Amino acid sequence: MAPSDPILGLTEIFKADSNSSKVNLGVGVYYDNNGKVPLLECVKSAESALVGKNAARAYQPIDGNAEYNLKVQELLLGAGSTVITDGRIVTAQTLGGTGALKVGADFLRNVIGTDQVWISNPTWANHKGIFQNAGFTVNTYPYYDESRKGVDFDAMIGKLSSLPKNSVVLLHACCHNPTGVDLTKPQWDEIATVVLNNGLIPFLDIAYQGFGDSIDDDAYAVRLFVERCPNVLIANSFSKSFSLYGERIGGLSVVSGSKDESARVLSQVKTLIRTNYSNPPIHGGGIVGSVLRDSNLRGLWDQELAGMRDRIKLMRSTLAKEIMRACPDHDFSFIEAQRGMFSYSGLQKPQVDKLRADFSIYVVDSGRICVAALNSQNVGYVAEAISKVLK
Ligand code: LMR
């Protein structure tokens, strides 16, 4: 038997729990204040228009829906980007952000010939397996300093500065998973300089664009690397920002030095996709493409995304306040400074186990909490349970 997945396996155990007070803070899914995964109004509207067309289901192109791919590029780089108009970026619609990472890893291993990747310590539990299965040796660079509840920037930049040329560096563009602790803009600038000067290959994972501060703010690192480095890979996902988890909708974008080079990159990416799953499904890309094409629906999406972001921020401050009310000797204000869905709570494995056994509250073993699963009905219960396991 293979071990169960550290994140999705937890949802399986949660589902089997009969305690009516149970709370799943494991998987990274946004729930609304009623504890439901929302179906966004912009998605509903785009979807009914699509379904109303009763369109036939022919195969998509290997790289997916062309309009969708262009809209992905515009979200990542900004609509006026000359990298787009110069044809220096190619995008393939993929099966979520995970699919983008996998196709990107296969491209780097099989076409570029690199075999060493550096991922942050800690990182999303699936990063290691994706790169290992693509044939990489997976190494880590320091990222999180528990004692400061912040980035260990000196150690991070020190490590990156020591890497050999053509090493792949996987970076969380925003809303770092699992810590919720992001680099500042000046820190990103320094990282980009090291990556450029040392000839490293940056691979940016952006699964939470719009969940941090705004669509544009959250794309800062992506735009910086694209401006400064000749070759950049970007894996993006709409699972969270469009609440389209089960549609598996994301994209792999590759920026290169010229239009000709981009055409060659796309030809190789298409070969990899064709031999993996042939071509992507229609529905998710159709929805996202329709919303991003239509200015009214795009405006509605911006509002709905801001609503999700603001609610998460409210839950951060409420959780911090409630824990500190119950446990005045613990400082939990760091939760408010973190960004995105997650908080690295600092809870240790025995405390995580106790939360599950005594309160049916499910947290990833590392102590990562999905703040986006809190609501006004369960946040008090969760805060009280955390304060009890802390004592
Ligand atoms: C998470 O980190 O919980 C999410 O990205 C969902 C997943 O696939 O692990």
66, 91 contact by CB (below 8 A): no
User: For residue 364, how far is its CA from the centre of ligand 1 (angstroms)?
Assistant: 11
* Residue 240 appears among annotated catalytic residues: yes
Per-residue pLDDT at 385: 96
- Residue 27 Cβ inside 6 Å of ligand 1? The answer reads yes
**Distance in angstroms (rounded) separating the CA atoms of residues 46 and 32:** 21
What is the number of the ligand 1 atom nearest to the C-alpha of 178? 2
Q: Which is the catalytic residue, given 63, 152, 205, 218?
A: 205
What is the number of the ligand 1 atom nearest to the C-alpha of 8? 9
Per-residue pLDDT at 391: 83
Per-residue pLDDT at 61: 98
Task: Collect all residues with Cβ–Cβ distance below 8 Å to 211 and sequence separation of at least 6.
Answer: 174, 175, 218, 240, 241, 305, 308, 309, 312, 339, 340, 341
Per-residue pLDDT at 293: 96
- Residue 175 Cβ inside 6 Å of ligand 1? The answer reads no
Q: Which of 240, 243, 245, 267 is nearest to 256 (CA)?
A: 267
- Residue 124 Cβ inside 6 Å of ligand 1? The answer reads yes
Is the pTM here over 0.85, yes or no?
yes
- Residue 40 Cβ inside 6 Å of ligand 1? The answer reads no
* Residue 36 appears among annotated catalytic residues: no
Per-residue pLDDT at 370: 97
At residue 7, the 3 state secondary structure works out as coil
Q: Which is the catalytic residue, given 63, 118, 124, 152?
A: 124
- Residue 180 Cβ inside 6 Å of ligand 1? The answer reads no
Mean pLDDT by 10 residues, the chain (391 residues): 93 95 96 98 98 96 97 97 97 98 98 98 97 98 96 98 97 98 98 98 98 97 97 98 98 97 98 98 97 98 98 97 92 94 95 97 96 97 95 83
